[in-house]
């Protein structure tokens, strides 16, 4: 085994001596060494319960004859980081998390490892590490929180709070109402209850074959989660003994399956960043165009928040990912999973328990998938929109540009009532290199919705959006402004044309004038130090998954 270098032979006596200080015995030196990468902390609601899950994984590892070792990795709550400097560190944390896992697993020659994860950047970061190291591994996603309720009726979540702020800024509600929503929206442990980024990635991790069946949609408070965790502990020991590695499981077929499911359930636009980045660490190259190709083939069959009315709990009760796979059975390409069953077997065995939550393919909520990729002279390399969360009125839209070089300036303008019907808010220099860190922009998009402008104002940015964003919000515009992409040359009152069915995003400026404008652009420079400075030097744009090269 890999760990033989620290536990076998006379030359390993110093390492064994230190391991004995951890409490290991001669008997333990005969067991597989299994790492547990635990992103527990007590500031992120989606992570405060992960020690309990880690303990269940430990029990499973011990029961199967392995020796567990737990180590920590960081996690950022995007909701808490939203709207201030902290959000510039969120996407950066994906790479930091991946590096932390690699450093600990490789540094201690572990035979296998389990990633205990939940929120937005932790799951893709751990998956990237799994592909990069190719050491036997399984993920346990921590699960969604229950939905918030007001007067026993409404499904509330973090999106509800941001949109309440928009209503407040428009004078539609008072401060007491906002406080009521604030106190009811997030009732306890778990990732936010809609199909935002954390839960999108949890679902896709299961479809990629890297977590056990049922893990993606089981709630944080559900005892089923602990059973899955314990079984994961047993299963990782078996994978180690059989030498089954992540690259034996995850192939291009797996990535195509994940994108099909993503389109069917209407996942976060951030999946168009994470899946391409993960694919690179698995030795593949998922292109942004693949999302659009599959979106045209796979209908949107469930209506989860923020696009619709249902929550992750509803999806779980309807049969979870195995039920979604069952709906898509004829489209799914067979591939292995960490379960020991193939994805095609799981699809065949899946049962849909609610035809309204998971509609048949011939009666979808939308004929196309949740995400669309737009291109044009404003985004030559592509831009991303969650078309399943766009009203019919905004599917084709033309408006005058209102240009801002930072998110906070746009937010101030929206709050001050300076953004009106027919405007296209353009927020630039918020891309991977320009920000740096490609911050999410739930604040301005939610303010637009809360002020009642969701059907008459669009927002375009080289930054990105929360999975909770809905409306005419187009992100990941590439090349970004910092690269002197066309978005850097847009001026106030330029006419921007959006045609989602035709996949077009254009500004009414001639090629000659665009070239002339770009030659005169003065790039906005933001001084950076430390991890941001290193990130800016290495990161690619949104069309390439903001992958570090």
Q: What is the pLDDT of residues 341-389, one digit of tens each?
A: 999 999 999 999 999 999 999 999 999 999 999 999 999 999 999 999 9
d(CA 72, CA 39): 6
- Domains assigned to the chain: 31-146+188-349 (3.40.50.2300), 154-187 (no CATH), 374-544 (3.50.30.80)
The confidence band for 113, taking pLDDT boundaries of 50, 70 and 90, is very high
> Does pLDDT of 170 surpass 90?
no
Evaluate whether 150 touches 183 at the Cβ level (below 8 Å). Answer: no
Cα–Cα nearest to 471, from 497, 450, 491, 492: 450
Q: What angle (nearest 5°) sits at the alpha carbon of residue 405, between those of residues 373 and 474?
A: 15
Tokens of 87: 């959000």
Taking the C-alpha atoms of residue 427 and residue 424, their distance in angstroms, rounded to an integer, is 10
Average the pLDDT over 478-492 and give the result. 98
Provide the percentage of residues in the chain whose pLDDT is more than 70: 100
Number of neighbouring beta carbons within 10 Å of residue 494? 19
Tell me the per-residue pLDDT of 21-36, one tens digit each, with 9 for 90 and over: 999 999 999 999 999 9
- The better pLDDT of the pair 405, 450 is held by 405
**Has residue 154 got a pLDDT over 80?**
no
Per-residue pLDDT tens for 523-536? Answer: 999 999 999 999 99
Q: Are 519 and 469 in contact (CB under 8 A)?
A: no
Partnered with residue 437 across adjacent β-strands are none
Give the pLDDT of residue 467.
77
Q: Please pick, among 160, 218, 466, 478, the residue that the annotation labels catalytic.
A: 466
Cα 137 from Cα 103, distance rounded (Å): 15
Predicted confidence (pLDDT) at residue 155 exceeds the cutoff of 90:
no
Q: What is the mean pLDDT of residues 329-348?
A: 97
CA nearest neighbour of 326 among 348, 303, 359, 356: 348
User: pLDDT by residue (tens digit) across 208-252?
Assistant: 999 999 999 999 999 999 999 999 999 999 999 999 999 999 999
- Kindly report the pTM of this predicted structure: 0.96
- Annotated active-site residue 466? The verdict is yes
Residue 437: its pLDDT value, please? Answer: 97
CB burial of residue 287 (10 Å; 0-12, 13-18, 19+): middle
Which stretch of 63-67, 421-425, 447-451 has the lowest confidence by average pLDDT?
A: 447-451
pLDDT digits (tens, 9 = 90+) for 275-315: 999 999 999 999 999 999 999 999 999 999 888 889 999 99
| Whether 440 contacts 78, CB under 8 Å | yes
Task: Give residue 286's pLDDT.
Answer: 98
- Closest alpha carbon to 84 in 437, 339, 481: 437
């Amino acid at each position: 085994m890999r760990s033989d270098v620290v536990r076998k032979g006379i030359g390993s006596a110093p390492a064994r001596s230190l391991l004995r200080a951890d409490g290991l015995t001669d008997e333990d030196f005969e067991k597989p060494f299994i790492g547990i990468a635990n992103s527990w902390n007590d500031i992120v609601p989606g992570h405060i319960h992960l020690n309990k899950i880690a303990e269940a994984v430990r029990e499973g590892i011990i029961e199967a004859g392995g020796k567990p070792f737990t180590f920590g990795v960081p996690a950022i709550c995007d909701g808490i980081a939203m709207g201030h400097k902290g959000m510039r560190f969120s996407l950066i944390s994906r790479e930091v998390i991946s590096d932390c896992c690699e450093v600990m697993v490789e540094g201690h020659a572990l035979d296998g490892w389990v990633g205990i994860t939940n929120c937005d950047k932790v799951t893709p970061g751990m998956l990237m590490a799994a592909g990069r190291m190719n050491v036997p591994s399984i993920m346990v996603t921590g699960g969604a929180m229950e939905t918030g309720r007001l007067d026993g009726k409404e499904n509330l979540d973090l999106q509800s709070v941001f949109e309440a702020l928009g209503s407040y800024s428009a004078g539609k509600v008072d401060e007491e109402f906002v406080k009521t929503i604030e106190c009811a929206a997030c009732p306890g442990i778990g990732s936010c209850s809609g199909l935002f980024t954390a839960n999108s990635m949890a679902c896709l991790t299961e479809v990629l074959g890297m977590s056990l069946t049922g893990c993606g949609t089981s709630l944080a408070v559900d005892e089923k989660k602990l059973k899955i965790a314990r079984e994961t502990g047993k299963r990782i020991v078996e994978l180690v003994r059989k030498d089954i590695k992540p690259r034996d499981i995850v192939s291009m077929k797996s990535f195509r399956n994940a994108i099909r499911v993503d389109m069917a359930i209407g996942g976060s636009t951030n999946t168009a960043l994470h899946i391409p980045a993960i694919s690179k660490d698995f030795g593949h190259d998922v292109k942004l165009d693949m999302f659009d190709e599959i979106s045209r083939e796979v209908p949107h069959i469930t209506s989860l928040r923020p696009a619709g009315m249902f929550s992750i709990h509803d999806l779980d009760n309807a049969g979870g990912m195995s039920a979604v796979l069952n709906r898509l059975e004829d489209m799914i390409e067979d591939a292995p999973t960490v379960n020991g069953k193939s994805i095609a077997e799981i699809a065949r065995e899946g049962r849909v328990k609610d035809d309204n939550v998971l509609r048949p393919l011939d009666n979808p909520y939308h004929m196309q998938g949740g995400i669309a990729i737009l291109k044009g002279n404003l985004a030559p390399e592509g831009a991303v929109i969650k078309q399943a969360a766009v009203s019919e009125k905004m599917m084709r839209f033309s408006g005058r540009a209102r240009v801002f070089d930072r998110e906070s300036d746009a937010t101030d303008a929206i709050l001050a009532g300076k953004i009106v019907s027919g405007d296209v808010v353009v927020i630039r220099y918020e891309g991977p290199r320009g920000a740096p860190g490609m911050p999410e922009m739930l604040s301005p998009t939610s303010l637009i919705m809360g002020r009642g402008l969701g059907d008459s104002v669009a927002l375009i940015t080289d930054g990105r959006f929360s999975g909770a964003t809905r409306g005419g919000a187009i992100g990941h515009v590439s090349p970004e402004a910092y690269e002197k992409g066309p978005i850097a040359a847009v001026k106030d009152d330029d006419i921007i044309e959006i045609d989602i069915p035709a996949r077009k995003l254009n500004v009414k400026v001639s090629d000659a004038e665009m070239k002339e404008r770009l030659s005169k652009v003065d790039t906005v420079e933001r001084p950076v130090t430390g991890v941001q400075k290193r990130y800016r030097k290495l990161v690619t744009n949104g069309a390439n998954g903001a992958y570090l090269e």
